[in-house]
Amino acid sequence: MTYTNFKIETDSEGIALITWDMPDKSMNVIDGTVMDEMDVLLEQIEGDEAIKGVVITSGKQAFGAGADLTMLQSMLGDYAAEKAKDEQKAAQMLFDGAYRLNKTLRRIEAGDKPWVAALNGMALGGCLEIALACHARVASDDEKTKFGLPEVKVGLLPGGGGTQRIARLVNPQDGIQMLLQGKTHPAKKAMQLGFITEVVPAADVVETSKQMIRDGLKAEAPWDQKGFKAPINVWSPAGVQMLSAGNAILRKETYANYPNALNIMKCVYEGLLLPFDTALKVESRYFANTLTTPEAKAMIRSLFINMQELNKGARRPDVPKSDLKKVGVIGAGFMGAGVAYVTAKAGLEVVLLDRDQDAADKGKAYSSDQMDKAIKRRRATEEKKESLLGLITATTDYAALEDCDLVIEAVFEDKGIKKVVTESAEAAIGKNAIFASNTSTIPITELSEASVRAKNFIGIHFFSPVDRMMLVEIIMGKKTGDKALAMAIDYVLAIKKTPIVVNDSRGFYVNRCVMRYMNEAWNMLAEGVPAPMVENAAKMVGMPVGPLTLNDEVAIDLSQKVIKQTIADLGSDAVDPRHVKLVNILVDDYGRIGKKAGKGFFDYPPKPAKKKLWPELKTLFPQLDASDVDINDLKDRYLYTIAMEAARTVQEKVVTDIREADVGAILGFGFAPYTGGPLSFIDEVGLANFQKRARELAKKYGDHFKPIKLINQMAKDGDTFYGRFKIEADKEAA
């Protein structure tokens, strides 16, 4: 028998070795063809008496990444089409689809031949679920190799028996965390937790697995053995306490915004009360139910499909790949030091330049500190640190930039200084080198006036902290050319971050949305809404970082600078006087400039004490009674003001690819991920509903909620963002 995705060889001892190696894919994933072939494989194995046991491994570096989510998307499409005709049939079809993997995997587990998963590399999601259905799992000891069930992060739940097998293998606290946080573990930790059987060097996983079979591994899962007891009894005092506390924590952390998370809890609770086969059916029902939620649809699209497309360089113009080896970073301060670190971490040479050697050295020392921390956490070694530091040259000499392919400036936010730096760098670098600015506020077109090669001038805007923030915003000046864009994208992908490409505008894309978020919080404070409600309403609607916390982190004196600059550039009408008053009181009267000073909207006492809202906030504006504040209005105000701004950037053609607006808002400042991003949010609400609610909010809270032209037009046309704009993006991609 020959297969496309698998190879099967049986040795003289009757051990069949299945090697999973999908053609034309860098990574194994579970798709329709894999599921079809797995069933045929099972038939072959069950019918072949010569086969005594089975080892399944991968022909690739990793074992597998999970299910192909585009397959789930098309399953949903079929469901929607059928639902229009016959709702009951559609529901059955969806359940059958959801149950399919469970059925196949249970056949492995309940069969009479022992199976061992030889996990030579990472196994995530559905691929780990295949392994969990085997009778033992042998995993590579490489610390970087991860095992886990991250489905929760894309709005789903592990639907291949993962919720049931983890709940029966791992202690309840760690198990539930693994399912609810999607946390992955290296093999040794996974073995301690109980879901990996043995840990050996990657080269030995197959042989060790075979030996287990030779040693008489039983073809019976623990839960199929008499007297099996799960790590927790749901009805015991400990079980009741654990699960009720678990629900409370879940509620506190998600505010019920994630139906998949709640469904995971239900799978665990209900599943543990049932015989295993029934429990698997229950899991499949919850999986099917989860799949039909708007949250799953939105999260799969934005956080998986769109993000994957952007990470493959969807916006890259068709010019030859740049041979990027050496990057110059000018300004070794807060941002420059971070940029140098992530660049060297990607194996690129870095020239880190500052005004004086001390500043340059200090910038390089940041990389050294980061590596020390990584060594402490056993994520790096002394040798790795030495080789990374060896890539960074700290200097004051522009001549050192000579053979850089790309130079990124991160000097003070000052047009004059940036001009001098641009001129000095361009005098030193080659004609084809690209020059980028990390400015957060100055238009790229304006800065490019200092350049003699404006087509090679581009914005590469990082977010802080550079090493943790996964988004980089690339900004096209009016004259920026394709080669500069391609180089910027190649660079961002090389440092393993997600690029979005936007056109020049004040605040570009992400900061325009962030400003709306913080401004709305300021509006609420000025109206007298109690500060805890201002912060908590944002959390309730799914923003991971409240606006006042975010403002403290960004720094309130920076907000003051931005306000002053806006007034200088656009006049005093461009700024709400209440905002000016609030920010001036905080900064000028009380020195409350944010977290860096230990005081802003919050007080930051020494750890372990937690931050607390500054009690005097309530004295700044006459306070409303909490019972007079409509919390639903507060929640909507955050989502609507940001979503309206995102739509405005589309209207103004600052954002030209709606995938980037959604992904950028989630990665850039955590816009309620369950919505799939601001434009997905509008689509889900429906344009006409969005328009109506925005008008209501405008009447009560100000003109900034008034629907913009594009929204009105789309509501009239009965359009959606993904309907109207994605098609164009698809056409371009094709």
Binding site for ligand NAD (CB under 6 A): 330-336, 354-355, 359, 410-413, 417, 420-421, 438-440, 462, 464
Known catalytic residue at 143 = no
Pick the catalytic residue from 109, 129, 535, 645. Answer: 129
Give the strands of the sheet with 198-200, arranged side by side: 6-10, 15-20, 53-58, 115-119, 136-140, 198-200
Please tell me whether residue 57 adopts helix, strand or coil conformation. strand
Q: Distance between CA 424 and CA 613 in Å, rounded? A: 46
From the list 151, 283, 295, 473, the catalytic residue is 151
Phi-psi region at 146: left, alpha or beta (left = phi > 0; alpha = psi -120 to 50): beta
User: Which H or E element spans position 15?
Assistant: strand 15-20
CA separation (Å) from 712 to 569, 611, 648, 709?
A: 30, 43, 12, 5
Q: What are the phi and psi torsion angles at 495 (to 5°)? A: -90, 15
Calculate the alpha carbon distances from 673 to 145, 258, 298, 299, 533 in Å: 27, 9, 9, 7, 21
Contact (CB, 8 A) for 487 and 476: no
Q: What letters, b where the CB count within 10 A reaches 16 and e where it falls short, cover 591-616?
A: ebbbbeeebbbbbbeeeeeebebbee
Residue 62 vs 350, nearer CB to ligand NAD:
350
* 8 A C-beta contact, residue 16 and residue 30: no
Whole-number minimum distance, CB 330 to ligand NAD, in Å? 5
Burial of 161 (0-12, 13-18, 19+ CB in 10 A): buried
Q: How far is the CB of 42 from ligand NAD (least distance, A)?
A: 54
Q: How far is the CB of 561 from ligand NAD (least distance, A)?
A: 10
- Least distance in Å: CB of 450 to ligand NAD? 13
CB of 421 to ligand NAD, least distance (A): 5
Task: Reply yes or no on whether 129 is catalytic.
Answer: yes
Q: In the complex with ligand NAD, which residue's Cβ is closer, 284 or 439?
A: 439
Residue 119's alpha-carbon distances to 141, 241, 399, 573, in angstroms, are 10, 36, 50, 63
Cα angle 339, 491, 443 (rounded to 5 degrees) comes to 70
Which residue in 75, 103, 82, 70 sits closest to 292, CA to CA?
75
Least spacing, CB of residue 449 vs ligand NAD, in Å: 16
Q: Which is nearer to ligand NAD, 43 or 414 (CB)?
A: 414
Q: Is the Cβ of residue 413 or residue 576 nearer to ligand NAD in the bound state?
A: 413
Among positive and negative, which fits the CA dihedral 380, 381, 383, 389?
Answer: positive
Query: Nearest approach, Cβ of 339 to ligand NAD (angstroms)?
Result: 9
User: Which residue lies nearest ligand NAD, judged by its C-beta?
Assistant: 333
- Nearer to ligand NAD by Cβ, of 335 and 694: the residue is 335
Q: Which is nearer to ligand NAD, 415 or 479 (CB)?
A: 415
- Identify which of residues 421 and 524 has a Cβ nearer to ligand NAD in the complex: 421
| C-alpha to C-alpha distance for 18 and 7, rounded to whole angstroms | 6
Distance between CA atoms of residues 457 and 280, nearest Å: 56
Q: What minimum distance in Å lies between the beta carbon of 726 and ligand NAD?
A: 29
Compare residues 256 and 420 and give the one whose CB is closer to ligand NAD.
420
Catalytic residue numbers read 129, 151
